Each structure stands twice: as C-alpha cells, then as structure tokens.
Structure 1
Amino acid sequence: MTRRDARRRVREIAAMAKGELAFGRTGLDFRKLSLEVLDLRANRGWIEWLEAAVATAVIARSRPARTVRFLSELRERHEQDGKPELFEAFETLINDYLAPEKLTNHGYTTATFDSVDHAPIWSGTAAAIAAVEATGHQVFLNSGTLLGVVRDGRLIDHDDDIDLAVILKATTDADAASEWRALAATLAETGALDPEGKRIAGLLKLRGPDGVEVDLFPAWFVEGRLQVYPHTRGELTEEQVLPLVPCPITGHARPRDAEAMLAVNYGEGWRTPDPFFKFDWPRARRVFAPFLKAI
C-alpha cells in the first residue's frame, strides 16, 4: 500500500468512526478497524490517524491507557496548530458517545470519583494502609491520590483508583527488590493482596473498597535520596519526605514536602488539572531498570 493509499484509508476509517460517534450504531466491526488503524501506524503523527485510533478504540472499548495517550498527543497537535477548539469538539464527541461511561487509564467506567461517595473509599483505604503498616513499614499517599488531596482537597474527579507508596528499609536497588518480593509474599499470606488484581512489575494490588483498585508502589532511600517507582529517582532528599505528616483532608500520611514530590511526578504545571496527563513510562522503566530487573 502506498503512503497515499494508507492516508486515504485512514481518512475513511476516521470518517466511519466519527459517524458512529455522532449518530449511533452502524454495525461496523470497530475492533477490527482499530487493529487496521494500528497497522497503519506509520501515519501516527498525523492528526487524522490519531483521531481514527482514538475513535475506533473508544467505540470498541479497547486499550484505554493507550487511547488516553493518543488523546494527549492529539491535543498537543491541535495546540501546535493553534486550533485547540478542534480538539475540544472531538473530546466532546467522545464524551457524549461514552456517557455515562468515562475513559480513564484503567478502562471505560461509570465509577470515577466524581460520581461516588468518598467516605467508604477512604475507609477502605484506611484498611489497606493498616494491612501494610502491620508489616512494620510506613505508608503514604502517592501519585494521583496525593495530587487530588493537595490540589483539589479531594480525590480527582476523573480518577478511579487509589495510589499508595510503602517505604522500604532497603538502601540499594538490589536490597529494595529483595525486600519488595518479601513484602509481597507477606501481604499475600495475610490476605491483603487483591487476588483478582493484575500482576504488574513494580506495584502490588491491595484489597480496597468495592470497585476501587488500590495500587501500592515501592519507595526507598539511597544515600539520603528518595526513590519511588516509577516517578522519583533521587530528585528529593530524605528531609523533604520524612517525617511523614498527616494529610489535613484524610488524616493519612503524606510526604513532608508533598508539593515538591508532585512537581517531580507531574511537572511544574501540576496545579492545573489535566485528564490526559501522559506519564513517561519508557523513561521510568529505563532509569529504574536495575530495580525492575532484580524483582
């Protein structure tokens, strides 16, 4: 297929997908069309390709994390072209089609935090934290959960899981990996792990509130510098983290200088909500390679 033919096909698929988004079911196999778009990935930097990739995936309810990433890239392209209103119109089309579901990194769901009671979520989170603390480790609010309570005073509306970090006693990557494996075994024995949680390198899935995932990430100090997989690799000192302080919203522990950690995790623009924030996972896997290889 020539490049011209490929682009013509991408335009056709994008048009079919937009038709479904705007007017309802067409009976087309969008899972198959989504795979066809991915086969034409040489056009990835092209706006029409990104729209086709996002629209077909949304209709097929497939690959949510990748689809969020493509949406972020699409927004960047429209902003570079000076036409952010085109992205806003496309985003509205996606949101209206999915309603009442919403697209998150974890799936297509109606259970984002803007539509549920937070009290039982925090209660379930407290139980998960207690289970880890019973092993003799400190636990703190991490990533999106920390961002929500610091920036918004609540869980982020478009989020749908709880993020925690556990401070290991290790002082090297190798020892951290060994301690992480041992902690996972202990938590499994006590029933604290979610038996249905996906096995993902570098994190553990804890039992949490009904319908809400609780992710536990490892943290440790190397020569007085904080390591938190996957977002902090020595940018913060131990004094910026310890002693942990109670979150005024939840009472759960958070880093002493939470704002500094959020700037490392999300960039200096962390105070501005961004439902399409794109974390640099390739960099994380690269800089944490010794730890990941050891676990």
Structure 2
Amino acid sequence: MKPLRSALISKYQHAPFVQRCLQIKHHIAGTRQTRGVHAYLYLYQMAQAFETADHVAIHQLADKMLQKGDPLGHLYLAKSHLLTNDNEQAKAVLSRFLAENPHHAEATYLLAEIYVRLSDKAAAWQCLQELLAHSKRGKTWQHLSNLVDTPSEFERFCTLFAGYFPDYQTKALPFDIASHLSNAATRAGDTGFALELWRRQYRLGEQVKNLQKSTALKQYTDKKAAAALAALKQCLDHQQVEFFLISGTLLGCIREGKLLGHDKDIDVGVWETHTVQDLARMIRQSGCFYILPIYSQDILVVRHVSGITIDIFIHHRDDGDYWHAGGKTKWSNSPFELTYRRFLGQEYLIPKDYGQYLTENYGADWQIPKTDFDSALDTPNVHIISEQEFIIYLYKKIISAAHSDRRNRYIKTLRLYGENV
C-alpha cells in the first residue's frame, strides 16, 4: 500500500489539492488532538484562504477551529499576524499554540522567524536547536543556516552540525542537508568551505547509487504566478516604487503573452534608488508575501502566499551600462527606457526597446523557445563575478541533474575551470 501511495503522490504532487493536503499533513504532525471530518474541512478551507491572503476568512476559520477546541487556530492566526507584520501579536498568539504543542516543527519555524523580525537572533537559534532533539526534518537546518552571518556563527553551526552528522566528511549527505551546510558557509563568507563540500559531495555521490536529490515541490502554475505578480504590483504601486519585467518574465510577456511554463520564479527589476532593506520593509506590510533571507544587496527574494517566488533585482545605472547581479553572476544591458504593456490583465512596465533587451539577454534567436536555457551559462551578457560560487553552482547542478546531456554539459564547463571531474 505504501508504494502505491508514494507513486500517486509523486504523480500528482503538483496538483493544488495534493499540495494543500501535504501542507495540512505538516501542520497536524506533532499535535495531540483527535480531529473529525469537519476539522479537516476547516483545514482545507484555511489552506485556500492563505493562498489568496484572505485574512478575514483566515480569522473566521481560526475562530471556528478554536471554538471546536483545535489549537491549530492559534497557529494560523499567528501566521496571519506575521504576514501583516504584527510581530508582537504573532508571538503572543503562537505562544498559546506552543504551550500545548511545544515541539511542533512548523510552529517553531514560525517562532524563529518572529524572533528574527524582533531582532532576537539568539532566541531564534535556541528554539531551533531545541527542535533538533524532537524532529528530523531537514528544514530545521535550513532555518539555522539562515541565521549565520559571521565566521563565529558558522563555527557554532558546524559544531552543532557535526553532532548530528559526524561522518559528513566521509559520507555523502542528502542534497538538501548539504545545501543548508553550504548556505551557512557562504553566508559567513567561507565560499572555500562550500566549494570543498560540493567537490566532496560529487566524489562521494559517484560512489553511491541513488544519492538523494532535492525533493522540493513545484509550486508554479500560470494562475498562481499571475496572482503573485498582481499582488506585488499592488504593493509597490501603493509605495510608488517603479518596477519592471525582466529576463524570463519579460520573454514570456513578449513572446508568448503569458509566463513561461518552465520558469521556476518571476523576475522583476527596480532602480538602485531603493535598497533591498527598503523593499523588504515595504513588502512586509502587504499581507501576502514572505521575505526570504537576504544573501545579497543586489536581490530581494519574496514568496507569495501561493508559493510563487519572485526575484526582485536592483538595477544599477552606470554610463552606458545598466546592470543587475545575483551572487555569482552579473548581467549587463544597454541603457533602456520604460514603457507600459498590458500583460495578464494588468499594465506593467517593460524596457521600451524590448527587442534589443531580449537579444542582449537571449541572443538574436530569442523568439525560439529553449526549455534547457541556463541563465548562468547561456546569456550573452553574463559576467562571472564570483568564480567559486559559480563552480559551486555547477557542482550542485551536476548532482541534481537527472538528464544526462545536461549533466555532461555542466561537467564540461567545470573542466574548463580546472575542476577534476
């Protein structure tokens, strides 16, 4: 029965119904209450309400759950307060849920995020470290890694990590766990450690069949992406922040009149008159976006309540060069003006001479679809600004690539950089 259930989940895991059910599964895990059919109906309706950031419905459903004696109502109220940036209230409400369910993983992650918002990183670390004794979820390491900002914090992370993975230097780690260790190193500025980690992961992985790959669920659908983009527009328009479509999102707008089906996220640009901290502060007020950990002053990554990720790139205007960057790479464009174009039922700003922009980004044949396009390798206007981070990217791609042709391509590129693969 288990193999059949796993096969069905694998086949239909991208369906909205299945994704909502998986979210519910995570939320009820670790709770002590017995629930009837009506409780699960409320939970499903709650998942739908969060996808549209309907905070009125969220509060109404939470009240019904609490009246039925289900403390999960407090968890959902806390999430709603966090989305509207009412952090103290979120903390107070969440404490009621954790009083009954002290080792609930999702609630602990939420509490850690609240502590970070309240500038209490030590408390965030403490609650996550305590959770490790009660939960084996790799997501705990992800949250811990995002608390690392200095070499001393990375040393503390490594000490804790070695206690749970004592043989990580001699045995291949699951892909997600290795990614969290690498993230901690990179955030601390130790890209050398991260590079050696992925070199070792590659060598050890070649010796082990069926090395675990990333299992992240795809959240992208046209409907969700359109809603997320419209929500960002409403938020930034209210703040009088000019933003414009770029990269794959612009390509989809011009070539297909919709978002590219194979895209994983949405790309937009803002001018350098705004910092990522400015944007984060504005978007936190929206009620429908989570701010993901900041790792660069050139890009802010936000996640809509529907699960859609939006990359907001700061665009710098130098003489003869408008450029934006993303960690390992930088993309340069000729100076451009902006104009409005109707897209997905809204008016969005785009480069006025979009033909020139898209040619610079994708080549003269930009009108021909390329599903295997890699923005770090294939864009004519790309420049590598961190060779170590670029090599790390290639190793991660090799390890996670299922398609042999694509994998061989990354291997060839690594060899050009002197890597022994």
CA shift for structure 1 position 186:
3.1
CA shift for structure 1 position 158:
1.4
User: What residue identity is the alignment partner of 1:129?
Assistant: K
Query: Per the alignment, in what secondary structure is the counterpart of residue 160 of structure 1?
Result: coil
Structure 1 residues without counterparts, runs of 5 or longer: 1-29, 43-48, 63-106, 170-178, 288-295
CA shift for structure 1 position 61:
2.3
Measured on the aligned residues, the alpha-carbon RMSD in Å equals 3.9
Following TM superposition, where does structure 1 have runs of at least 4 consecutive aligned residues deviating by more than 6 angstroms? 33-37
Query: Per the alignment, in what secondary structure is the counterpart of residue 385 of structure 2?
Result: helix
1:160–1:268 Cα change, 3 Å: same
User: What residue identity is the alignment partner of 2:213?
Assistant: R
1:157–1:236 Cα change, 3 Å: same
Summarize the alignment of residues 162-181 of structure 1 with structure 2, pairs less than 5 Å apart.
162-169=266-273, 179-181=274-276
Whole-angstrom CA distance in 2 between matches of 1:122 and 1:188: 17
1:193–1:227 Cα change, 3 Å: farther
The residue that corresponds to 1:143 in the other structure is: 247
CA shift for structure 1 position 216:
0.8
Whole-angstrom CA distance in 1 between matches of 2:198 and 2:302: 36
1:128–1:111 Cα change, 3 Å: same
Query: Per the alignment, in what secondary structure is the counterpart of residue 226 of structure 1?
Result: strand
The residue that corresponds to 1:109 in the other structure is: 217
Whole-angstrom CA distance in 2 between matches of 1:183 and 1:262: 29
1:216–1:194 Cα change, 3 Å: same
8 Å Cα contact 1:131/1:192 also seen in 2: no
The residue that corresponds to 2:340 in the other structure is: 245
Aligned-residue sequence identity (percent) comes to 19
User: What residue identity is the alignment partner of 2:354?
Assistant: A
Q: Equivalent of 1:161, from 265, 269, 283?
A: 265
Summarize the alignment of residues 44-193 of structure 1 with structure 2, pairs less than 5 Å apart.
56=210, 60-62=212-214, 108-112=216-220, 116=221, 118-169=222-273, 179-184=274-279, 186-187=281-282, 190-191=285-286
User: What residue identity is the alignment partner of 1:280?
Assistant: A
The residue that corresponds to 2:334 in the other structure is: 236
Whole-angstrom CA distance in 2 between matches of 1:192 and 1:264: 36
Whole-angstrom CA distance in 1 between matches of 2:223 and 2:259: 11
Query: Per the alignment, in what secondary structure is the counterpart of residue 236 of structure 2?
Result: helix
8 Å Cα contact 1:158/1:275 also seen in 2: yes
Whole-angstrom CA distance in 1 between matches of 2:174 and 2:311: 33
1:200–1:32 Cα change, 3 Å: closer
Whole-angstrom CA distance in 2 between matches of 1:236 and 1:155: 24
CA shift for structure 1 position 218:
0.9
Cα deviation 1:20-39 (Å, max 9, x = unaligned): xxxxxxxxxx9659899953
Whole-angstrom CA distance in 1 between matches of 2:174 and 2:291: 31
User: What residue identity is the alignment partner of 2:352?
Assistant: R
8 Å Cα contact 1:125/1:209 also seen in 2: no
The residue that corresponds to 2:323 in the other structure is: 227
Whole-angstrom CA distance in 2 between matches of 1:226 and 1:180: 16
8 Å Cα contact 2:174/2:212 also seen in 1: no
Whole-angstrom CA distance in 1 between matches of 2:324 and 2:307: 26
Structure 2 residues without counterparts, runs of 5 or longer: 1-170, 179-196, 388-421
TM-score if structure 1 supplies the norm length? 0.51
Summarize the alignment of residues 199-214 of structure 1 with structure 2, pairs less than 5 Å apart.
199-201=294-296, 202-208=298-304, 210-214=306-310
Whole-angstrom CA distance in 1 between matches of 2:174 and 2:240: 51
Query: Per the alignment, in what secondary structure is the counterpart of residue 215 of structure 1?
Result: strand
Q: Equivalent of 1:285, from 385, 406, 409?
A: 385
1:207–1:40 Cα change, 3 Å: closer
Whole-angstrom CA distance in 1 between matches of 2:198 and 2:268: 36
CA shift for structure 1 position 144:
1.6
Q: How many residues are aligned here?
A: 188
Q: Equivalent of 1:39, from 200, 208, 224?
A: 200
Summarize the alignment of residues 249-268 of structure 1 with structure 2, pairs less than 5 Å apart.
249-250=344-345, 251-268=347-364
8 Å Cα contact 2:290/2:305 also seen in 1: no
Whole-angstrom CA distance in 2 between matches of 1:283 and 1:125: 28
Cα deviation 1:174-196 (Å, max 9, x = unaligned): xxxxx414523532553578435
Whole-angstrom CA distance in 2 between matches of 1:253 and 1:193: 22
CA shift for structure 1 position 138:
1.1
Query: Per the alignment, in what secondary structure is the counterpart of residue 263 of structure 2?
Result: coil
Cα deviation 1:252-292 (Å, max 9, x = unaligned): 221112222222223334333233322338934359xxxxx
User: What residue identity is the alignment partner of 1:39?
Assistant: R
1:252–1:222 Cα change, 3 Å: same
1:195–1:122 Cα change, 3 Å: closer
Please state if 1:271 is matched with 2:367. Answer: yes
8 Å Cα contact 1:229/1:284 also seen in 2: no
Query: Per the alignment, in what secondary structure is the counterpart of residue 313 of structure 2?
Result: strand
The residue that corresponds to 2:162 in the other structure is: none
